[in-house]
Chains A and B, each alone.
Chain A
């Protein structure tokens, strides 16, 4: 049974989103890290890059597979987490804390309303 914090929003593709003002912090869910297992490489977008909601903008690789990470909302990349690039296993051990991926300055704050609630995400992963 995976951890699904109640104060976050979620996507079908297993990203979590913490919205604070016009800034969204994004990472992958506990369910996603458990499915991927043993994350060995993370590639994150450069600050300043404009992304559209649903656009593939990062890659996470486990020993077995490579998976795209999608921007849950549109906007400009404010910052990427260099610590998780240096220590990819953080995405396994603390997916909601030190394992965050990047921050987006929302260009269309209304998009955040269409993200999944914790209950909806819980129903999706069957957890």
Chain B
């Protein structure tokens, strides 16, 4: 039996097409993937992300614990700030990629992938068992208590404050939602309760993510669609979420990341703080950083008209298979086939010519800088 989010009936009312995503029955699209994608690039879109997991870590040793299990340096955060980070095994392989927020001194919120929630919670508990200061850390899987939406796009800043008109009441102190800077989080009064709002997202556009209790999020969804309507907001499914994140080369767990792949190989070394002290996976990650890697994540663009590249398609160079596509699609913004994949470092040179095998035929592609799609600069 697939799990359903608190917004399930709202999706049905909007005529969503539903799919199984990590055990959740989620909307893949409403009216159309491309229209939803372009709405987020030019105006606004709202996504149900209630399937994502939430774990809180609190107590005097929470910071030390998180700095041991996560790769980024959590000591850089002040209350109201968040960071992208990774959780690795001893081999440096990625258990999950996630956002860690510091809500207040000694209280942290982790937002984790839906498909990884059981694995993450089991891993965190096992590490907690081994952690010498465990008496001073309280871990709690709050995934069942929270729902969430993401509202993304260049127009969102023009109506989000109408949805949440108050000053913040916890975490980052701001007068209005739009005063939050990228990666900042704050609690705002909403109706009879409160919601957490962060200036984050998974689309490459400006935007916010809103986390709260089920009923609250049902009302937030309605409110965002209502206030965003004059700005062209669209309800968006996982289909558009996937093409948007692929254009800007954000990794998807299960595609670019897994337990046999390290953050260094995935090009996420920026989020690995080797100088913060000991942490799980550090030894391998430091070695890779110093001595190199065997595979490297590249972004590519097809240079001829062809069918869209897709995950698992072989990557060719110099007449042989050198790797595999991890994510691929027809880019709605660029009108061309794009993707990411792993190849040996000697192949992974910018502007190198490669080929993607699409249903038995090879088509030319070129290795391009990440992100593949860059926002046009205002004239």
Closest A residue to B35 by CB, please name it: A38
Bound Cα distance from A41 to B329, whole angstroms: 11
Asked if B41 CB lies within 8 Å of chain A CBs, one says no
Is B329 in contact with A63, judged by CB distance below 8 angstroms? yes
Bound Cα distance from A62 to B28, whole angstroms: 13
* Min C-beta distance of B98 to chain A, whole Å: 26
Closest B residue to A68 by CB, please name it: B359
Given the complex, which residues of A lie within 8 Å of B28, measured CB to CB? 64
A63-B239, A63-B329, A63-B330 known; A38-B34 Cβ under 8 A: yes
Is B307 in contact with A41, judged by CB distance below 8 angstroms? yes
Is B33 in contact with A38, judged by CB distance below 8 angstroms? yes
* Min C-beta distance of B38 to chain A, whole Å: 11
Bound Cα distance from A21 to B294, whole angstroms: 62
Asked if B332 CB lies within 8 Å of chain A CBs, one says yes
* Residues of B in contact, count (CB < 8 Å): 15
Asked if B2 CB lies within 8 Å of chain A CBs, one says no
Is A59 in contact with B34, judged by CB distance below 8 angstroms? no
Bound Cα distance from A63 to B328, whole angstroms: 9
* Min C-beta distance of A122 to chain B, whole Å: 20
Residues of A46-88 contacting chain B, CB below 8 A: 59, 61-64, 66
Is A64 in contact with B239, judged by CB distance below 8 angstroms? yes
A63-B329, A63-B330, A66-B359 known; A37-B32 Cβ under 8 A: yes
Asked if B102 CB lies within 8 Å of chain A CBs, one says no
Asked if A40 CB lies within 8 Å of chain B CBs, one says yes
Is B359 in contact with A41, judged by CB distance below 8 angstroms? no
Asked if B295 CB lies within 8 Å of chain A CBs, one says no
Bound Cα distance from A61 to B359, whole angstroms: 12
Given the complex, which residues of A lie within 8 Å of B29, measured CB to CB? 37
Is B306 in contact with A38, judged by CB distance below 8 angstroms? no
Closest B residue to A41 by CB, please name it: B307
Is B306 in contact with A41, judged by CB distance below 8 angstroms? yes
Given the complex, which residues of B lie within 8 Å of A66, measured CB to CB? 307-308, 310, 359
Bound Cα distance from A62 to B242, whole angstroms: 14
Given the complex, which residues of A lie within 8 Å of B310, measured CB to CB? 66
Given the complex, which residues of B lie within 8 Å of A38, measured CB to CB? 32-34, 332
Given the complex, which residues of B lie within 8 Å of A41, measured CB to CB? 306-308, 330
9 A-B pairs within 8 Å (CB atoms) are namely A37-B34, A38-B33, A59-B307, A62-B33, A63-B243, A63-B329, A64-B28, A66-B307, A66-B359
A residues apposed to B, CB below 8 Å? 37-38, 40-41, 43, 59, 61-64, 66
- Contacts A40-B308, A41-B308 supplied; 5 other A-B pairs, CB < 8 Å: A37-B32, A38-B32, A61-B308, A61-B330, A63-B34
Closest 7 CB pairs of A and B: A40-B330, A41-B307, A38-B34, A61-B307, A63-B330, A63-B33, A38-B33
